[in-house]
Chain A
Amino acid sequence: MSRLNIELPGLSLKNPVMPASGCFGFGKEYSQLYDLNVLGAIMIKATTPEPRFGNPTPRVAETPGGMLNAIGLQNPGLEKVVSEELPWLEQYEVPIIANVAGSTEEDYVRVAEVISKAPNVHALELNISCPNVKTGGIAFGTDPEMAKNLTKKVKAVSEVPVYVKLSPNVSNIVSIAKAVEDGGADGLTMINTLLGMRLDLQTGKPILANRTGGLSGPVVKPVALRMIYEVSQQVHIPIIGMGGIQSAEDVIEFFYAGASAVAVGTQNFIDPFVCPTIIDELPQLLTQLGYQHISECTGRSWKQHEQFAYHRA
């Protein structure tokens, strides 16, 4: 009996662990290191209608426990993703979650319409939270009305469930979450990166060519947990949680906060085997903590104790 399988809109996950968008490319690189079939799902790199080069380099900087990136949504464009990257991934029995990005509503709608028809794309992740592009992206993620309207439009054309990826760069994350739920979102993914910057001691200038970038890694974990904790109590759609996950223990903590599955981003760069390692370690950790199934952990931080009583019977 599996103790890790999770059913979410559009997604039958053999386990709740998947690489986060932008941290795994389209899977090819990591496929040289391990069998991608072990993964619960794969969130592929953001796709825009046209190819994008992204920002000038340097695109990464560091801070203790975290990194800043300003990649700028570099990707080969919709046509190539659909004709080359996704077909290549079909050799794996792993549902793909396609990260959809753009500068205008039309961009998002166009990508969603086409990419949701790919046979192995089981859900979309609407990226309304990229801090590294000048137009679109985060603008949609910080205004509840815009977020809701965009969700509606994408829902109308998508053939698969739509998850909306929330930005932490807002003063009230719950209002955005509720707005996209109203707009018809089937689920949420959170969090994207936090806007930050680093300066060079010698020159006094920003290290990143883009000046600012998105902060990720262990330093953002408490922020992610707090936001998932707040949002999960206020919406009725599932959350795929992310932000600084490095271990099986971190995964359980995200479930406690209210997540139903998780994604691992930055840690793939430091330990390329992190996803399979976590998947291996989870059953043992569940035993140690006294759970039969990982789903028992979801929302444990705020759910009434009685709601769990039947599990112990």
Chain B
Amino acid sequence: MMLEVRKLTSHYGRIQALKGIDVIIEEGELVALVGANGAGKTTLLRTVSGVQPASAGAIWFDGRDITRMAADKRVAAGIAQVPEGRQVFGPLSVEDNLRLGAYRRKGENPAGDLERIYTLFPILKEKRNQAAGTLSGGQQQMLAIGRALMSHPRLLLLDEPSMGLAPLLVAEIFKTIQELKKLGTTIFLIEQNATAALSVADRGYVLETGAVVLADSGKALLTNEQVKQAYLGM
């Protein structure tokens, strides 16, 4: 098992955002987690990345308990996150953003990795000397994904990568996600765009107000009546 989240709870002050979450991700899987606004999706990813403390429960990664591990050490251990809203380093150049993605691997020459990212997203190569803040939303999303890949993650966490993008770009981002899966990256994909996410996912979870209410294969969830009504607008 690559990631195992057990009975995880987390709070913002007195507000409980996660109410005992159980999630399992096997090596090589693409797992989607869908849920409405405020369900706790981002909080779950933040807790897995270690930028939000867990109140109780446990997170295991690669057979290690990482519940209390510092965020920077989790990156070194192989967990990378593409955060909600992209969060690129606006005033820094595109290439500097990518280089910072490889921050935990400082000793190594990232030239080969940069080329790999530029092959995946040619537009980033074209704009590599521009400030990241001047990129369009779609380009910033590609940059955020590229930056996360620079750390050679074993587990890639994606928080609503399609948010705010035009349909054509959404399709492109999803195509990239499928390519990454083919290359062997384990992916945990958070989405409000449930149709798209569940169609590409091996398995899926449905989150409601801080708790998992459904867990099944992606296909099964797509045809589940409850899911259809609540998230697929059918």
Q: Do the two chains bind?
A: no
